[in-house]
Amino acid sequence: MVRMRTPGAAVAEIKKSDPDTSVSEYFIRRLACDGKIPCIMAGRKRLINYDSLLEYLSSVHNDPEPELIEYGKIRPIKE
């Protein structure tokens, strides 16, 4: 059975098992908006798959550093 949770409910579940966690509701919502974890919209609520969230949090991610933008210089256009 799939466990679907709102970001707030997911944080509450995580805090039950780890009261000192640094995972926040905003962080989970950001992961869903960025497409890093699957989610569905149910009206105005965003529902995430709780098991997918735990899987994402338990794996190692090496997200690339954002490119530095140099202002005041001519920059090439990305194609």
> Closest Cα to residue 63, out of 28, 26, 25, 36?
36
In a domain, 22, yes or no: yes
Question: Is the sign of the CA dihedral 43, 56, 3, 7 positive or negative?
Answer: negative
Q: d(Cα 55, Cα 5) in Å, to the nearest integer?
A: 15
Residue 61 has pLDDT above 90, yes or no: no
Does residue 40 fall inside a structural domain? Answer: yes
Q: Residue 67: inside a domain, yes or no?
A: no
Is 18 domain-assigned? yes
3-state DSSP assignment of residue 49: strand
By residue range, what is the domain housing residue 41?
Answer: 4-58
In this predicted model, what pLDDT tens digit does every residue of 21-53 receive, in sequence order?
Answer: 999 999 999 999 989 999 999 999 999 999 999
Structure pTM? 0.72
* Pick from 6, 14, 12: nearest CA to 54: 14
Number of structural domains (the chain) is 1
The token pair at 1 is 């059975």
Kindly state whether residue 66 falls inside one of the protein's structural domains.
no
